[in-house]
Amino acid sequence: MTDEMITAGIDVGAKFAKVVILKDGQVLARAKTLMGFDLLKSASDVFEMALKDAGLSRGDIQRVVATGMGGNAILQRPQINADETVSGVVAGAAGAFQVVPTVRTVIDVGAEEGRGIKVEGGKVKDFVINERCAAGAGTFIEAMARALEVKVEDMGPLSLKSVNAIPMNAQCCVFAESEVVSLIHSKVSKEDVSKAIHDAIAGRISSMVLRIGVEKDVVLIGGCALNPGFLPPLEKELHTSIIVPEFPEFVSALGAAVIAANPQR
Amino acid sequence: MTQAEVKTQEYWRWPEYRFTIPDRDWHNASVITAGVDIGSVGSKAAVLADGELYTYAVMRTGGVSEDTAIKVTGWAMEGTGLEVGKLHYVVGTGYGRVNVPFAKKSITEIACHARGANYIYGSTVRTVLDIGGQDCKAIRCDEKGKVLSFLMNDKCAAGTGRGLEVFADLISVPIQELGKVSLSVDQEPPPVSNTCVIFAKAESLSLLRQGWSKEKVAAAYHAAMADRIVDLLTRVGIEKDFVITGGVAKNIGVVQRLERILKIKSLEPKMDPILAGALGAGLFAKALYEKEQGIR
Amino acid sequence: MKAHYGYKDGSGDYFIIIDTDKCNGCGKCVQACPFQVLDLIPNEFDIEGGTMAAVKEEHRKKIKYSCAPCKPVAGERRLPCVSACEPNAITHSW
């Protein structure tokens, strides 16, 4: 890694685009924006935000690495001109290793995908992806929040107040919405329903992570890590404590920025 | 013939109805049985006189299955002079089959559907595809309607009536017309790439925004649904004659696409295919009653 | 008769297939499964009756997750239920 090298990582996710600007292993700026209909515009906007925050211009950034669902779309496009794309698995592992060097298992749960990554010496050894089914990722919690008529950010705190564990039968987001409505009609409290929702998704994510084996330290990243209700059922299912780093939703973008700074890895 | 008022205010709600076959009379029958099929979305009751369909009703399943069972059976018998007490044997089936309080036995919906399809379409039926409100079943059967292989998918909303309801709401088209709308395209567009209803919905929204017509988006969605259903059918194997039952059998957009992909025409039903489960249950009821009575 | 228990969703096809013509109702698969996914139930498809192995109702719609621990990404895969079944009545589609 060259001294004074400034790099950027951009993670174009399904719901949010995240940027991290890195210099010598120090984060200079972070920026995040909702993905709009125009992928390129959202990506450029968030990139501009980060540059502004850091007091830099595009020319100051030596290398940019992109990741996420929209990563390929912004490769070598004007404004951002990403040099390279890496998969979310690689970026997530690199970012987690950067913030928790003792990491062996990464759990990355975003809006549309959930992943388990086995890390050895900072490199990806195995991974499992739970994709293309809304019930396995953040979309599930959002959809249930709508059915419960509760703000998404309130779902976690609600679930933590629950005193009863009730099972959810529906395994599909669409069917679960109806089940939530009928649970409420049966006078089940919103707290208990929210807990059931968090238990359900934690169960799904845990089963998938068990396929790569769970070894400490276990690190949780991605947007869902911001949800305080997500961690307790996950720790319970996996029988281990889990570390949630600061700014967990930015860890993949950070990983991309780290990779940008180490092209000979 | 009495018919329920058609209630089509909300785009996703389909009409409820009942029907009594005009030139049949239960008074002359020696065995009167009923099959009650409580589905997660729709409930059906079929009353049979000596193993022939006599009267039936179809309504939306309410919050309490037991009440729906009583209601739909009562509605089927309305105006005929029949009542539950006069039925010799009742079999319950469907998702809520254990909630038919006056049923003597409950039998899996798979077995009932195969038996009912054999009645509705004849003994040449070998492959039954049932697309219901919240599930999709593929059944291989023999000439007697006995099940040889089956597969039921009720985990995922894609490929079920529920998926279509979500879609009907999305493009603001009444669900009964969705199939026709999906066929009103000059050229079949590529299917939506996401099979998950949630993701397909988002994808469809973005297609609409790109200027795709309702018809084109409907076609893309129906195409994806048909592909998905064919995958499931292929697992149990497809053998002629092939039939489609369940509420979604009325969606010509799905039916025509399936026939096109499989290169088989599905048989035309002699009566409402939504009754397959209830009919099969009613026929099992007759067989079980006769077995009980020692009649052979 | 071949009973397919499971589902297809956006992420793939997951079915446990039990051939009831081969299944002798011995219940060894039920014992072998570390997660109690299987059970013995009455055979409603045959007028004669008998028992057959089946996936429990509570697992049928999440079979991908229920069976995930027996299907590690790396290393050898040994399915206890399949190994336990002498007549080879059980197969997994994934």
Judge: A126–C61 Cβ closer than 8 Å, yes or no. Answer: no
Give the model's pLDDT for residue B58. Answer: 95
Domain span at residue A25? 6-87+250-261
Contacts of C9 in chain B (CB under 8 A): 155-156, 158, 195-196
- Tokens for A240, please give them: 């281990």
Contacts of C65 in chain A (CB under 8 A): 203-204, 207-208
Judge: C10–B199 Cβ closer than 8 Å, yes or no. Answer: yes
Q: Report if residue A92 sits inside a domain.
A: no
Does A29 share its domain with A134? no
Q: Report if residue A151 sits inside a domain.
A: yes
Does A114 share its domain with A168? yes
Q: Report if residue A96 sits inside a domain.
A: no
- Pairwise CA distance, residues A162 & A185, whole Å: 17
Closest residue to B198, CB basis, from A174, A182, A185: A174
pLDDT range class, residue B65, cuts 50, 70, 90: confident
> Which chains border A (3 or more CB–CB pairs < 8 Å)?
B, C
pLDDT range class, residue B6, cuts 50, 70, 90: very low
Taking CA B278 as the corner, what is the angle to CA B275 and CA B281, rounded to the nearest 5 degrees? Answer: 145
Q: Report if residue A196 sits inside a domain.
A: yes
For helices A173-185 and B161-171, give the axis angle rounded to 10 degrees: 90
Q: Report if residue A33 sits inside a domain.
A: yes
Q: How far is CA B101 from CA A76, B50, C42, in A?
A: 67, 23, 21
Count, residues in chain C: 94
Q: Report if residue A47 sits inside a domain.
A: yes
Contacts of A37 in chain B (CB under 8 A): 206, 209
What is the edge-to-edge ordering of all strands in the sheet holding B105-106? B17-20, B52-60, B42-49, B32-38, B89-93, B105-106
Instruction: Report mean pLDDT in 10-residue bins for chain A, 265 residues.
Output: 80 95 95 91 93 94 91 74 91 97 97 95 93 91 95 96 91 93 93 96 94 96 96 96 97 96 77
Q: How far is CA C79 from CA C6, C8, C85, C90, C92, in A?
A: 16, 20, 10, 10, 9
Q: Identify residue A102 by its one-letter amino acid code.
A: T
Within 209-248 of B, beta carbons closer than 8 Å to A belong to 209
Give the model's pLDDT for residue B2. Answer: 36
Judge: C11–A169 Cβ closer than 8 Å, yes or no. Answer: no
CB-based contact A112:A125 (threshold 8 Å): no
Domain count of the fold of chain A: 2
Q: What is the DSSP letter of B24?
A: -
Does A74 share its domain with A114? no
Of all residues in chain B, the percent with pLDDT exceeding 70 is 94
Q: How far is CA C15 from CA B51, B148, B163, in A?
A: 36, 17, 21
Q: Report if residue A93 sits inside a domain.
A: no
Does A82 share its domain with A155? no
String of DSSP letters for B236-282: H---SSEEEESGGGG-HHHHHHHHHHHT-PBPPPSS-GGGHHHHHHH
Q: Searching chain A, which residue's CA lies closest to the CA of residue B202?
A: A37
A167: contact with B, CB 8 A cutoff: no
pTM of the model: 0.88
Does A115 share its domain with A72? no
- Pairwise CA distance, residues B48 & B28, whole Å: 12
Does A160 share its domain with A181? yes
Closest C-alpha to B192, from B228, B234, B244:
B228
pLDDT range class, residue C83, cuts 50, 70, 90: very high
Peptide bond into B135 cis (omega under 30): no
Optimal mutation site among C5, C8, C11, interface A, most CBs of chain A within 10 A: C11
Label the pairing between strands B52-60 and B42-49: antiparallel
CB-based contact B15:B26 (threshold 8 Å): no
Phi, psi of B195 (to 5 degrees): -85, -25
Closest residue to C45, CB basis, from B147, B155, B235: B147
Q: Searching chain A, which residue's CA lies closest to the CA of residue B203?
A: A37
Q: How far is CA A223 from CA A65, A109, B162, in A?
A: 20, 7, 29
A185: contact with B, CB 8 A cutoff: yes
Does A204 share its domain with A133? yes
- With 50 as the cut, is the pLDDT of residue B7 above it? no
Q: Searching chain A, which residue's CA lies closest to the CA of residue C77?
A: A211
- With 90 as the cut, is the pLDDT of residue C77 above it? no
pLDDT (tens digit, 9 = 90+) per residue, A183-225?
Answer: 999 999 999 999 999 999 999 999 999 999 999 999 999 999 9
Judge: A133–B157 Cβ closer than 8 Å, yes or no. Answer: no
- With 70 as the cut, is the pLDDT of residue B5 above it? no
pLDDT (tens digit, 9 = 90+) per residue, B221-271?
Answer: 999 999 999 999 999 999 999 999 878 888 999 999 999 999 999 998 878
Distance between A183 CA and the closest CA of chain B, angstroms: 11
Give the model's pLDDT for residue A3. Answer: 59
Does A227 share its domain with A127? yes
Q: CATH number, domain at A255? A: 3.30.420.40
Does A194 share its domain with A126? yes
If 0-12 CB within 10 Å is exposed, 13-18 middle and 19+ buried, where does residue A38 land?
exposed
The sign one gets for the Cα dihedral A244, A249, A255, A261 is negative
CB-based contact A19:A47 (threshold 8 Å): yes
Q: What is the CA radius of gyration of chain B?
A: 19
β-partners of residue A9 are A20, A65
CA B52, distance to chain mean position in Å, is 19
CB-based contact A222:A110 (threshold 8 Å): yes
- Pairwise CA distance, residues B202 & B181, whole Å: 20
Judge: B149–C4 Cβ closer than 8 Å, yes or no. Answer: yes
Judge: A126–C74 Cβ closer than 8 Å, yes or no. Answer: yes
The sign one gets for the Cα dihedral B277, B279, B285, B290 is negative
Closest residue to B149, CB basis, from C2, C44, C60: C2
Does A64 share its domain with A163? no
What domains can you pick out in chain B, each with its CATH number? 17-117+274-293 (3.30.420.40), 125-266 (3.30.420.40)
CB-based contact B173:B181 (threshold 8 Å): yes
CB-based contact A118:A211 (threshold 8 Å): no
Closest residue to B154, CB basis, from C1, C47, C61: C61
Give the model's pLDDT for residue B11. Answer: 61
Q: What is the DSSP letter of A75?
A: B
Does A108 share its domain with A59? no
Q: Searching chain A, which residue's CA lies closest to the CA of residue C59?
A: A169
Q: What is the DSSP letter of A82?
A: B
Closest residue to C9, CB basis, from B107, B110, B156: B156
- With 50 as the cut, is the pLDDT of residue B9 above it? no
Judge: A139–B198 Cβ closer than 8 Å, yes or no. Answer: yes
Taking CA A184 as the corner, what is the angle to CA A178 and CA A185, rounded to the nearest 5 degrees? Answer: 90
Give the model's pLDDT for residue B183. Answer: 96
Distance between A244 CA and the closest CA of chain C, angstroms: 24
Using DSSP, state whether A120 is helix, strand or coil.
Answer: strand
- With 70 as the cut, is the pLDDT of residue B296 above it? no
Label the pairing between strands B32-38 and A105-109: unpaired
Q: Report if residue A94 sits inside a domain.
A: no
What domains can you pick out in chain C, each with its CATH number? 2-92 (3.30.70)
- Pairwise CA distance, residues A230 & A234, whole Å: 7
Does A217 share its domain with A114? yes
CB-based contact A28:A54 (threshold 8 Å): yes
pLDDT (tens digit, 9 = 90+) per residue, B116-140?
Answer: 999 999 999 999 998 888 889 999 9
- Contacts with C57 (C-beta within 8 Å, 6 or more apart), sequence order: none
- With 80 as the cut, is the pLDDT of residue C43 above it? yes
Judge: B162–A133 Cβ closer than 8 Å, yes or no. Answer: no
